Structure 1
């Protein structure tokens, strides 16, 4: 019975990736030059919109990973287009790093150096290297890592600053987005610097990359994780004092598996043991946001009592992976059920069967959110594409072991 369920699940994930997610995004990308920077929630393309660094880097990661794992030639073609765009238009040839946003014609539009965006460029390029072995892409990824270490790492305070100017000077407004707090450090940036450093370590196993992964894990376990609440704190001042207590269920469950992945790459049993306990605590704390329909809500603020019960696309995708990962770690069937339940919710409520891809979210009242983008600055194929690839890989491993 278990084997039959896993095989069916793997097939569902493969179908979703190959027949829905990837076709939508290859069509969106087009020739890799003239694509619209945004498609709104009602399906209208906006060619006047700028193209964000995060969108470009996440498309590069997704197409590269999909090619590496499926061998589909259209994924390689798309990955090559995005890598060329990133290399020629996004990387700053004068100061290093990547621009935050480029105009529709490819010229720089916003030149600030957001650490989060530099990290995702490394993530995409290193995955492209995994898929193709391209030495030039490796050089680009290494140079971006060097820029992070030289300009962004604050050794005195023990963390990576949120953002700097184009030439790496202090910046007054360091926010990642309008909804974020303007703080010196954040959970989100450090989590999404851990991903690229760990991925770079796969293709460039240098001691300084391993050390960056090691210290990023320490930051998560010793500074960002709140052992009393079991959740991650989100924002911090320059002295690492938490600013607010908002709980992000999606980041809790996403971090629960990303820190394990990074610790496994280091191969240090002591680090892995410490990370394992934090990972399980995060997964159990994230489950506080699970709803009777299997979905995971967005946020909760214990200081105000306010709950954001919307079901965001990326939160559901990360919940599928995070709960499955915890099942693998503990053998507790509850986590497998939670993972499976979230996937059922996705298939029932979030997939746009008429136009492809996923809706941004389902509102707390059950209505579909068509106000936020279908594709754009933040709506990218990385969370749901990675979910499919991760679960397919993990299910194959379970089937092989049994």
Structure 2
């Protein structure tokens, strides 16, 4: 690719990052009740009384802290500071510690369960906020949550992390992360989103035990979660890691490809890095070969050989990073141009030009599914803003090498 192509790509990505964070800073912020609204439908109607989830809120914290770290815009830092306080005041369990799952718009607890996934995203938001501000409490809470995950959720016999516990850390029967998930004690998704915050925390707290935990997670992915025959991630597991599902998630495959590589680089273990490079490239290649349309978009998933060809916003976002990461690993410009093509698809079909932000998903004919909310419990500024920030940071380095 040429320097002109890289420059144009960066210009468009930077503009979209500003548009996304501006949308959240203006349209989604709740001036009356503080924090951010819990739900906005596809036509832009706000449900001011919708409940609010900790995952959405910690992802918002991460997005504005990371946005500040990329742009140095004081507005983003101020919003991150307000959001940090909001999370502490509304989601932190002062009695048992850790973060609860859900509150109402007034801040009253609605669901006090403790998901391992949620503790992970709190670490992700808090550690990024520490990177942005140097706030010592955010680092202290990140470390505290790391210790909670290791003490309460880590399975010492079979390894890995169980999905959920009650507010007081006692056993819970329904461990599901969402209604779409299987009720099993372990999942790929939770492990991926514990690896991710551990990696971010390691950037600011290079503790030996944390490094060991990251290595344990990488090993679990390479030896258990990645299917040796298909190369895809297995998604749901019993306590002893017996697979419980044959579903293929193309979005998680390509997201996991770059998150695994990122983790290996961060702990700086050369043998691990070289091994992960092979795993990552295989995950990206399989996604491109099996789950990518001729227009460059990435399908949702496959179940028993039947492909769901809807295109979800988060899958497209993670595809961008996975493809550029594959280019950085291999030096093969084919991956770079696949990312450019995917970005063209996102601009044309996934972005909501009229109302702002990105549609949740479009169908096989690229028509938006308007029954899906625009903002909600699982629809956040994290996947798309992170993809834009990751690409901008990576393109900076690619550009430097070429100059």
Task: Output the TM-score relative to the length of structure 1.
Answer: 0.97
Distance in 2 between residues matched to 1:373 and 1:198, nearest whole Å: 31
Cα drift, residue 89 of structure 1: 1.1
Distance in 1 between residues matched to 2:148 and 2:14, nearest whole Å: 37
Question: For structure 1, which segment, 307-316 or 359-368, has the greater mean C-alpha deviation from structure 2 after superposition?
Answer: 359-368
Distance in 2 between residues matched to 1:35 and 1:336, nearest whole Å: 35
Cα drift, residue 291 of structure 1: 0.1
**Closer, same or farther: CA 34–201 of 1 in aligned 2, 3 Å:** closer
Question: For structure 1, which segment, 319-328 or 331-340, has the greater mean C-alpha deviation from structure 2 after superposition?
Answer: 331-340
Q: Which residue of 1 aligns with 2:219?
A: 218
SS of 1:231's partner is coil
Q: Which residue of 2 aligns with 1:125?
A: 126
SS of 1:307's partner is strand
Which residue of 289, 292, 304 maps to 2:291?
289
Distance in 2 between residues matched to 1:41 and 1:212, nearest whole Å: 40
Distance in 1 between residues matched to 2:117 and 2:92, nearest whole Å: 14
Contact 2:51/2:105, CA 8 A, preserved across alignment: yes
Distance in 1 between residues matched to 2:35 and 2:99, nearest whole Å: 20
SS of 1:159's partner is coil
Q: Which residue of 2 aligns with 1:140?
A: 141
SS of 1:204's partner is coil
Q: Which residue of 1 aligns with 2:277?
A: 276
Distance in 1 between residues matched to 2:93 and 2:271, nearest whole Å: 39
Q: Which residue of 1 aligns with 2:356?
A: 356
Cα drift, residue 34 of structure 1: 5.7
**Closer, same or farther: CA 112–332 of 1 in aligned 2, 3 Å:** same
Figure out how many residues of one structure are paired with residues of the other and give that number: 399
- Superposed counterparts of 1:231-242, under 5 Å: 231-242=232-243
Contact 2:232/2:283, CA 8 A, preserved across alignment: yes
Cα drift, residue 144 of structure 1: 1.1
Task: Output the TM-score relative to the length of structure 2.
Answer: 0.97
Cα drift, residue 42 of structure 1: 2.0
Contact 2:58/2:121, CA 8 A, preserved across alignment: yes
CA shift digits 1:337-375 (9 cap, x unpaired): 211111010000011111110010111232111111111
Contact 2:43/2:355, CA 8 A, preserved across alignment: no
Distance in 1 between residues matched to 2:391 and 2:108, nearest whole Å: 38
Distance in 1 between residues matched to 2:227 and 2:319, nearest whole Å: 20
Contact 1:17/1:388, CA 8 A, preserved across alignment: yes
| Structure 2 residue ranges without an equivalent (≥5) | none
Q: Which residue of 2 aligns with 1:22?
A: 21
Distance in 1 between residues matched to 2:29 and 2:397, nearest whole Å: 32
Runs of 4+, deviation exceeding 3 Å: none
Distance in 2 between residues matched to 1:343 and 1:291, nearest whole Å: 13
